[in-house]
Chain A
Amino acid sequence: MSRSLKKGPFVDEKLYRKVEKSQSSARRTPIKTWRRACTVVPEFVGATFQVHNGRGFTEVFITEDMVGHKLGEFAPTRVFKGHTNKKEGIDGGTKAPA
C-alpha cells in the first residue's frame, strides 16, 4: 500500500537541515546517514550521501531521476556472490558439505 498523500513524503528533518546547510556551503562533503527510509526530495539533487547498509556506507550521488525514491534503495543490504558449485566444492561456500 502506498503512503497517504495527506502526510506528504517522509523526509527526515535533521537530515534535511543538514543537506540545506551543505548545499549552501561551497565545499560539499558526503553526508553520512543511517536514514534509509528518508525520501529523496528535489532539494537533495547534487548532494552526495553515504547511506548505511547495515555494515558500511555506500556512496550515493543524487541525480534528478532519483527524486521520489528512498535513500535505502541505493544502498543494497545483501551481497550475492553466486551459488556454490557442488562438483568443484570451492567457490567460497560457507556451509559444510552434507
Chain B
Amino acid sequence: MPRIAGVDIPEKKKVLFSLQYIHGIGPKVAASILAKTGIDGDRRTHTLTPDELTSISKEIDERYVVEGALRRQVQQDIQRLKDIHCYRGERHRKGLPARGQRTRTNARTRKGRKKTVAGKKGVKG
C-alpha cells in the first residue's frame, strides 16, 4: 500500500478518494492536487507509479499543511484564544460553542451527553 504524507496509507479506492484519507485533504484539495500533477483521479490508487506518488507527496509537502502539523496548528490557534482570555477562548475552556450558537437546547456536540437534572421543567419525575 502506498504511503503519502507520513503515515497515511490509502488503498484500492480511486485516487481522488483515497487522498481524502489524509487529515487536511478534502474533496477540493484532492481534486486540485490531481489537476496540478496531471493524474486522473478515477484511477485506482494501486495503479499509481512511484513517480506519480512522489509527485503527489511533493505537491502536498510544498503547498498544504496536513496531519500532525495541521492538528498542532489548530491546537495552537485555540491555545492562543485561551491565553488572551477573549470570549472565544473562554468558550473553548468551558467546552461550550464559541460561535454564538444557542445553548438553551442542543449544543450537544460541545457539551457531550445529556446530563439530566431532576426537577427541571420539562423533565418528568
Contact = CB atoms under 8 A, between A and B. Distances in A.
A98 B101 CA distance: 29
Given A73-B88, A76-B90, A65 B118 contact: no
A65 B87 contact: no
A86 B90 CA distance: 27
A66 B86 contact: yes
B73 to A, nearest CB: 15
B90 to A, nearest CB: 7
B3 interface: no
Contact of A83 (B80, B85, B117): B117
Interface residues of B, number: 11
B62 interface: no
A65 B84 CA distance: 7
B117 A73 contact: no
B85 A86 contact: no
B83 A86 contact: no
A55 to B, nearest CB: 16
Contacts of A73: 86-88
B119 interface: yes
A23 B107 CA distance: 43
B118 A66 contact: no
Interface string B75-117: 0000010011111101000000000000000000000000001
A79 to B, nearest CB: 12
A16 interface: no
Interface of A: 63, 65-66, 69, 72-74, 76, 83, 86, 98
Given A65-B84, A74-B85, 10 more contacts: A63-B84, A65-B80, A66-B84, A72-B87, A73-B87, A73-B88, A76-B87, A86-B117, A86-B119, A98-B119
Interface of B: 80, 83-88, 90, 117-119
